[in-house]
Amino acid sequence: MIGALVARKAVAKAFHALNQHDLATFMSAWRDDGVFIYPGQIPASGTFQGRAAVEGWFHNFFDQFPKIAFDVQDLCVRDIFALGGNNVIAVHWNLQLTNRDGRAGKNSGVTVITIKGGKVTLVKDFIFDQDKEFRLNWSADSH
């Protein structure tokens, strides 16, 4: 149960930092060789390797979406008894946002987080709706 409590606290801190556009706090949990994978067929999609690349992606995310509100729905932890700072966490979330063009949007997804030695080493997002609305929110479609 210690592993689950630690994971819950860390996830709450990370999503609060995202909602506040607090990049320094959010990145403080990442390893230097961390990897972030974002789905879809838009310019923001892809695999971002290393702290600088991940930080750059989230900086662009904050620029694109001045208003974001993640609401964590569910959290699952692979090893609820983990003590060594190694675990895998799945977080189901809903998101409401407004992009820099003033367009409001919403989505939901699951983020799978791999932690080694107490730091994030891999994050992979699974976004439920990647249709035209998703592309418009990212300004990937002109109309």
Vertex 33, ends 78 and 108: CA angle to 5°?
Answer: 50
Q: Which residues contact 83 (CB under 8 A, 6 or more apart)?
A: 2, 3
pLDDT in tens, 65-124: 999 999 999 999 998 777 778 899 999 999 999 999 999 999 999 999 999 988 999 999
pLDDT at 143: 46
Residue 1 has pLDDT above 70, yes or no: no
**Using CA atoms, how far apart are residues 106 and 97, in angstroms rounded to an integer?**
6
Query: What pTM value is reported for the model?
Result: 0.92
Q: Render pLDDT for 10-45 as a digit per residue (tens, 0 to 9).
A: 889 999 999 999 999 999 999 999 999 999 999 999
Q: Are strands 119-127 and 46-49 parallel, antiparallel or unpaired?
A: unpaired
Bridge partner list, 90: 76, 112
Q: DSSP assignment of 55-118, as one string?
A: HHHHHHHHHH-SEEEEEEEEEEES-TT--SS-EEEEEEEEEEEE-TTS-EEEEEEEEEEEEETT
Does residue 6 surpass a pLDDT of 60? Answer: yes
Residue 22: its pLDDT value, please? 98
Contact (Cβ atoms closer than 8 angstroms) between residue 49 and residue 35: yes
Confidence at residue 25, expressed as pLDDT on a 0 to 100 scale: 96
Task: Give the pLDDT of residue 28.
Answer: 96
- If you average pLDDT over every residue of the chain, what do you get? 91
Say if residue 130's pLDDT is above 90: no
Residue 115: per-residue pLDDT:
93
| Strands 30-38 vs 119-127: parallel, antiparallel or unpaired | parallel
Q: What CATH code would you report for 2-137?
A: 3.10.450.50
